[in-house]
Amino acid sequence: MATPGEASVNDSHVGKNKQTPGRYWQEPQQVGKNQNKDGEQALKDLQHKEQTTHTTKKRKQEEDRGDGKKFISGKSDPFPGPAPVPADRVQKFKRKDKTKKPGRQQYKLRDVITRSNNSSEIAQNQAAQFDLLLPEEAGFLEGDEDEDTCMISQEDIAEAVDITSGAKYFNLKLSQFGPYRLDYSKTGRHLLLGGRRGHIACLDWQSKQLMCEINVMESINDVKWLHSESMYAVAQKKWLYIYDSSGIELHCIRKFNDVLRMQFLPYHFLLATASATSFLQYLDVTVGKEVAAICTKTGRLDVMCQNPQNAIIHLGHPNGTVTLWSPNQKEALIKMLCHQGGVRSVTVDKTGTYMVTSGMDKKLKVYDIRAFKPLKSYFLPAGASCLSLSQRGLLSAATGDVVQVYKDVWSTPVTKPYMAHRVRGTAWGLHFCPFEDVLGVGHGDGFTSMLIPGAGEPNFDGLDSNPYRSAKQRQEWEVKALLEKIQPELINLDPAELGRVDRATFEQRHQDRVQALGYDPLAKEKFVPKYKKKGRSSAGAVERRKKQVAHEDQRDEIRKTVEDKIKMEKERKDTEKQKVALHSQKSALDRFNK
Amino acid sequence: MAKVSKKKVSKKSLKKSSEVTGNNEAVATNMIYDDDEKEDDLDGADVDVSGEEDEDGEDERKRQKLLEAISGLGGKRKKTLGERSEAAVQMCEFTVTSKGDGEKIDLSDLIETIEKTPSVPAKAKKQLKTLQRNTKTVECPLSKQENERIQRDVSFQKAATEVSRWKSIITQNRKAEQLVFPLNQEPSGPKPIDRVVTGWKAQTPLEQEIFALLSANKQPINDPILTPFEEASVRAMSLEEAKIRRAELQKARALQSYYESKARREKKIKSKKYHKVQNKVKRKEFLKEFDEMVKMNPAAALEELNKMELARMQERMSLKHQNSGKWAKSKAIMAKYDLEARTAIQQQLKVNKDLTQNLVSSLKEEEEEEEEEEPGTEVLPDFVNDAKQPLDSSNPWMSGKLSEDPTEKEMSETRGVTVEEPITVAHTAEEEEEEGDTEKTEEEALLREFDSRRKLRWAQEADPAAVMSVDDDNDEDDGVIVADSKPSAEEADASDGEEEGLSEFTSLFRGIVDGCREGKAGSDTSAQLNEGLVRIKGVGDMELLPLTNEKAPVEPQHPPASENLPSATKKAEKNRKRKKGIELKDVLTKCTKVIKVPVTPTVEDSEDAEDKVDQMGLIKEAFAGDDVVSDFLKDKKKQENAGKPKVVDMTLPGWGEWGGIGLNPSRRKRRRFRIKTTPPAPRKDVHLPSVIISEKRNSSISFHQVNSLPFPFDTHAQFESTICSPVGRTWNTEQTVKKITKPKVTTQLGAIIEPMAQEELLKNKKQMTVRNNSTVDSLKRKH
């Protein structure tokens, strides 16, 4: 688990990857070992190389000495230069490939490119060096010999781990108000529970402190935290409501009716809702305006998820298709046929690489959504009603009242779950808690918080989502996040598209402009003849006037072109003259030349 | 009066000289003389009068003058005209011309007298002579404008050179990443002590003297450890050592030269036989070495093996030693009649066979066997081990497996003989048949050669392929059997029960070690089943789908033992071709893995979904897979059609021919006036049968994109790569952000920024020279 206090626990089941952090002096030794391993001939070559490198190094040191960086004592630094960083770690932070430099003639371009190459390299190296500051490692569950990890019960785990982690396994028995949906806030600190029969509770789940508890006296379809733990949205029977953390109703948004599912896009401050009337709507929560309303024309929308990488909304449909939507386009960006029956649940992993779907045909499929290609297909005997992916790629699937967690669904073919747990009543909502090894399950009989070792990201970004932040820090974060809010127009299937040059043709761009402005800015205004009295506005006269104007225009144009031509000609002649003057040397006798 | 007398004397002398020089001169002098006289007259007449008596030959003229003077005294002053005193043939309007008209005065004429007069100094004479020898004329002076222009030019050049001295420093500043104004300020803050000490210079005379002494005696100034002498002595080698080393080097050089010359000589030998023998010897030696290496140094041996494998791969990839070359083809034609050609071809094929034989596998197998023999290790089936070869799983081309085509062809061939039997049996049968053939033409022999090669490959392929069928792989172009096992799964997909059965089968399949052969045979039969499947071409055919699906397992393939081979093969080939395209059905029904859940759900799934799944959904579930696919395909087709440009028909009925009800314009005309637009670029989802990608342009983002390439960039890629790495604090460390986003120009608050001084230039130059010197020094030090 992510907490550092957990390291002291010595248990067979739950542990940590014991891996001493890499030191920079480790690599040279390894290199030396490799050399020893090589064949004789290779060794010779290497020795030769080594010699050369040795000499070059010496040379370098000498040069350094020449610069006057030597110590008075005559000692030289045994570890000169900055500490080397392992290549694989540097590779991890690679942002771009090196651009090829142009020739020396284009020195400006060359400068720009070298500068950008250098800066990216610096950034990469720095980031790799600072990676040292992320000390936490993910936990894992390991069974004894001939023991399946999926047979280990939650109680065992809770007993084995330390007290704080053990306290994270708990049940809330709320049998009165029906199956519960749930949502964790972005920091993973707060939990929002919404019972089907109108019960809403939000609590700081780690301290089990109840923030508010209300009953809206209406059926509840979905609940969702907004950008912070101070506000949440509730999709009730008819309208969409927004409450604050003390349970006060802030808004009732009548524009959003019959909402079934919601997703909040945290960096865009958009609340996306999918309704029973097959509308996909986007609400900008900063200004309270509807950004886009898209009629998907695909019936009831009760399967929804977002791609955290590019803020694209995925919708699942009863005809086995999954569609991808952005607020900028009225039709689906992508429509893929995933199942032969209806789609029951969709989820996308944190990196935006994989999509996992489950359908009525009792299958669980893994797709690569960069290429829209199926990767793996599994058959679940009972089918999965809810899916959820954790930050580190664990997949939880609920089949009836059993919650199963799978590891590495996309890379290796899985035959049995990593963990399994039976809850009371059918599971209704599943969510992994961010930055914690916890899976929250909302079911018919309340809420269960399960311990799933290795689920959460152990290292959090304190400036982005800090689970331990104070009220002041939250306020500051809110301001910053609002300043860095991404406009909904920038939602695109490929987020890197913004960094590319728009290569659309001029006409295409002009068309876009016309569409945006509502008129053609380049169009010439049409001549409308003035009405004249005394019979001078007869049809013939008007026509004549029109013709006259058209004729004038034409003449103007011709004149202009002719002038241009003359000008060009003149310029050409001038340049020629100058050339001639430059070429021929004048002599006194030239004046007699005719 | 004294003045006048002096003049007279000069006049006299002049007269004398004029007499000597000759006529021309005389005239000139006379003229001067006259002028003088006139002046005199103007000065005062009485003076002239008094001096008249002295003159002898010119009374007449004098008198005239006198008269003139007298007349001039009286009234107004008259302008006197110059008078001609001498008669000449040719007369000029303005002056008196010389006797020889148009003749130039030569310098020699003037100098002649000097020769005669002894009083002229020798030096002057010499100078005059050289002058005389020099025949060049002095150029006429330039005009004022030209003169000025030249001066302007010169001054411009001067100024330009003056300015161009700044050029380097200016470009340097322009190129600099950051400029801090005022320039050249000392960096604030404490300096490292080393720099202070080494940068310190002697200033007072005493210090200077001391340092001069130190440096004269080559004593260390900054570094107190070793004197240069000591260092030099340390660095120097002893004489003996040096000698030994030199001898060694000499010997090595000599040996190298011998070796080189020998190699050159050997290379020049043209005898093929010699080379053949040589090669053979080399190979033998290599083998011996290799054997030793296997014992002594297995790692190196493995590397060698890898090398061989690489060579084999190259051979396989290239068309070398195949019978596809020009030479081989010609020989193949000749082979019928020519024994030599036949042997040549056979030889070549043998070479190919040798080269393409998989050496590694045999060795590895041996190793594996050894491993297996060891107790304690897990007993694993052979093919599992085979599957672990990294080559197999990663790339089917590298594994030495055959591609689809030849095997399929072969299969079609074998079908002619035995269809229902497994292929291995078929092969043996074929072989037997061929062996039984007593009368073999030469062509057949060749063919057999090819066949055997193919079989060899097939045999190589068989083992890994068996494993591949178990793996669920994504590659469409994997081994044949993989592709074939898919449809079998597809059939199973029709009903879930069947599917489970199949998966059980596959698990069994994996478990059985000895039954590997049978399993393969089973998969092979399924492959043949596949040949009979009807492929869906369009939407219209989709309605037939369930029917055909049902039929597929029931219906056997082509009539077996049919003798008309060509038609069968053709069909097979067609099927294969169609199979190469990705089929939606295949994609949807990838072989699935069954997950065994230890805890079975007690609550039925349908209960909780009672309100979620409405009537429609229930029906959909019931008829799962029936219309979902066809609906989707229809939708896709519609989208595709919408994206296609429409054909515009511009025909005007009745134009140029009769029109009216029931009369259509002729076909020729219609064809002529139909405007066809160019077909659009292929859709993005051409190769993704189960995906529809919207072709609509997203214009919302284009407002934020860069429209045109900015200045210094040549290509889009360059520009995009420069802006692709993030700059902000969210993605970078603080240090990096500061470094990346530092401003181009910073100015110190309150500091006066003065224009660059001349010293700046000098400093720059000095720096350059110092740098050069330092490099030179370092070079010297190195040598």
Residue of B nearest to A464 (CA): B730
CA atoms within 13 A on the CB side of B716: 11
Task: Determine the average pLDDT of the residues in B96-107.
Answer: 62
Least confident of A84-88, B29-33, B645-649: B29-33
Q: Residue-wise over B90-124: b if at least 16 C-beta within 10 A, else e?
A: eeeeeebbbeeeeeeeeeeeeeeeeeeeeeeeeee
CB contact under 8 A, B708 and A361: no
What's the pLDDT score for residue A275?
A: 95
Average pLDDT of the residues of chain A: 86
Q: pLDDT band at B774, cuts 50/70/90?
A: low
What's the pLDDT score for residue A73?
A: 66
Bridge partners of residue A172, in order along the sequence: A447
Give the span between the Cα atoms of A431 and A438, in whole angstroms: 9
Select the residue of A332, A464, A504 nearest B694 (Cβ to Cβ).
Answer: A332
Q: pLDDT band at B108, cuts 50/70/90?
A: confident
- pLDDT over 50 at A388, yes or no: yes
CA of B744, closest CA in chain A: separation in Å? 13
Average pLDDT of the residues of chain B: 66
Q: pLDDT band at B373, cuts 50/70/90?
A: very low
Q: pLDDT band at B753, cuts 50/70/90?
A: confident
The residue ranges of every structural domain in chain B are: 2-103, 151-185+714-783, 393-442+458-619
- Decide the pairing of beta strands A170-173 and A446-451: antiparallel
CA of A71, closest CA in chain B: separation in Å? 6
- pLDDT over 60 at B527, yes or no: no
CA of A548, closest CA in chain B: separation in Å? 33
- B597 chain-A contacts, CB cut-off 8 A: 380-382, 399, 402, 404, 416-417, 420
CA of A15, closest CA in chain B: separation in Å? 24
What's the pLDDT score for residue A540?
A: 92
For residue B25, what are the CA distances in angstroms to B12, B97, B98, B448? 15, 11, 9, 126
Residue of B nearest to A383 (CA): B605
CA of B715, closest CA in chain A: separation in Å? 10
The DSSP letter of residue B663 is B
Alpha-helical runs (H) found in A38-145: 40-67, 87-92, 107-130
CB contact under 8 A, B735 and A378: no
What's the pLDDT score for residue B490?
A: 41
- Which residues in B224-374 belong to E strands, given as ranges? none
- pLDDT over 60 at A364, yes or no: yes
Q: Find the angle CA(B513)-CA(B472)-CA(B522) to the nearest 5 degrees.
A: 50
Of A182, A245, A186, nearest to A447 (Cα)?
A182
Residue of B nearest to A587 (CA): B146
Sign of CA dihedral A338, A342, A347, A352: positive
Give the span between the Cα atoms of B777 and A66, in whole angstroms: 9
- A362 chain-B contacts, CB cut-off 8 A: 496
Q: pLDDT band at B401, cuts 50/70/90?
A: very low
Most confident of A216-225, B204-213, B436-445: A216-225
SS3 state at A80:
coil
Q: pLDDT band at B620, cuts 50/70/90?
A: low
- pLDDT over 90 at A307, yes or no: yes
- The predicted-structure confidence for B281-323, as pLDDT tens digits, reads as follows 999 998 899 888 888 888 888 898 898 888 888 887 877 777 7
CA atoms within 13 A on the CB side of B220: 14
CB contact under 8 A, B596 and A416: yes
Asked whether B394 and B401 are in contact (CB, 8 A), the reply is no
- B736 chain-A contacts, CB cut-off 8 A: 119, 122-123, 126-127
Residue of A nearest to B620 (CA): A341
Select the residue of A96, A111, A119 nearest B175 (Cβ to Cβ).
Answer: A111
What's the pLDDT score for residue B569?
A: 44
- Identify from A360, A465, A466 which residue to disrupt to test chain B contact, counting B C-beta atoms within 10 A and taking the largest count: A360
Left (φ > 0), alpha (ψ -120 to 50) or beta: where does A269 sit?
left
- A504 chain-B contacts, CB cut-off 8 A: 697, 702
CA of A559, closest CA in chain B: separation in Å? 32
- pLDDT over 60 at A402, yes or no: yes
What's the pLDDT score for residue B447?
A: 57
What's the pLDDT score for residue A489?
A: 93
Give the span between the Cα atoms of B414 and B393, in whole angstroms: 28
- pLDDT over 80 at A191, yes or no: yes
Asked whether A332 and A324 are in contact (CB, 8 A), the reply is yes
Q: pLDDT band at A348, cuts 50/70/90?
A: very high
Give the span between the Cα atoms of B194 and B393, in whole angstroms: 61
Q: For tokens 């049409």, name the residue.
A: A526
Of B570, B584, B510, B509, nearest to B542 (Cα)?
B584
Q: pLDDT band at B73, cuts 50/70/90?
A: confident
Q: pLDDT band at A202, cuts 50/70/90?
A: very high
Q: Is A427 exposed, middle or buried (0-12, 13-18, 19+ CB in 10 A)?
A: buried
What residue ranges define each of the domains in chain A, with the CATH number in brackets? 139-478 (2.130.10.10), 518-551 (no CATH)
Give the span between the Cα atoms of A51 and B780, in whole angstroms: 21
Alpha-helical runs (H) found in B687-750: 699-702, 716-724, 734-740
Q: Is A101 exposed, middle or buried (0-12, 13-18, 19+ CB in 10 A)?
A: middle
Q: How many CB pairs under 8 A join A and B?
A: 299
Give the span between the Cα atoms of A379 and B596, in whole angstroms: 9
Select the residue of B496, B597, B731 nearest A417 (Cβ to Cβ).
Answer: B597
Give the span between the Cα atoms of A297 and A194, in whole angstroms: 28
Q: pLDDT band at B504, cuts 50/70/90?
A: very low
CA of A119, closest CA in chain B: separation in Å? 6
Task: Determine the average pLDDT of the residues in A452-465.
Answer: 91
Residues 6+ apart with CB under 8 A from A123: A93, A95, B725, B726, B731, B732, B733, B736, B740
Of B477, B476, B466, nearest to B387 (Cα)?
B466
CB contact under 8 A, B600 and A331: no
- Decide the pairing of beta strands A373-379 and B593-594: parallel
Asked whether B301 and A39 are in contact (CB, 8 A), the reply is no
- pLDDT over 60 at A50, yes or no: no
- The predicted-structure confidence for B727-741, as pLDDT tens digits, reads as follows 988 889 999 999 999
How much of chain B, in percent, has pLDDT values that exceed 90?
10
Q: What is the ipTM of this complex?
A: 0.77
- Identify from B201, B286, B476, B603 which residue to disrupt to test chain A contact, counting A C-beta atoms within 10 A and taking the largest count: B603
Q: Is B482 exposed, middle or buried (0-12, 13-18, 19+ CB in 10 A)?
A: buried
Give the span between the Cα atoms of A32 and A35, in whole angstroms: 5
What's the pLDDT score for residue A383?
A: 86
- The predicted-structure confidence for B228-253, as pLDDT tens digits, reads as follows 677 777 677 677 888 899 999 999 99
CB contact under 8 A, A126 and B588: no
CB contact under 8 A, B303 and A40: no
CA of A534, closest CA in chain B: separation in Å? 45
- pLDDT over 60 at B531, yes or no: no
Question: Two tokens at B124?
Answer: 């002057």
- The predicted-structure confidence for A555-590, as pLDDT tens digits, reads as follows 999 999 999 999 999 999 999 998 888 776 666 776
Encoded amino acid at A145, one letter = E
What does the CA dihedral A244, A245, A249, A252 come to, rounded to 10 degrees?
A: 50
Residue of A nearest to B143 (CA): A588
- The predicted-structure confidence for A123-143, as pLDDT tens digits, reads as follows 999 999 888 888 888 888 888
- The predicted-structure confidence for B162-185, as pLDDT tens digits, reads as follows 999 898 888 888 888 888 888 777
Of B40, B68, B43, nearest to B55 (Cα)?
B40
- B624 chain-A contacts, CB cut-off 8 A: 340-341, 360-361
Q: Residue-wise over B460-474: b if at least 16 C-beta within 10 A, else e?
A: bbbbbbbbbbbbbbe
What's the pLDDT score for residue B769?
A: 64
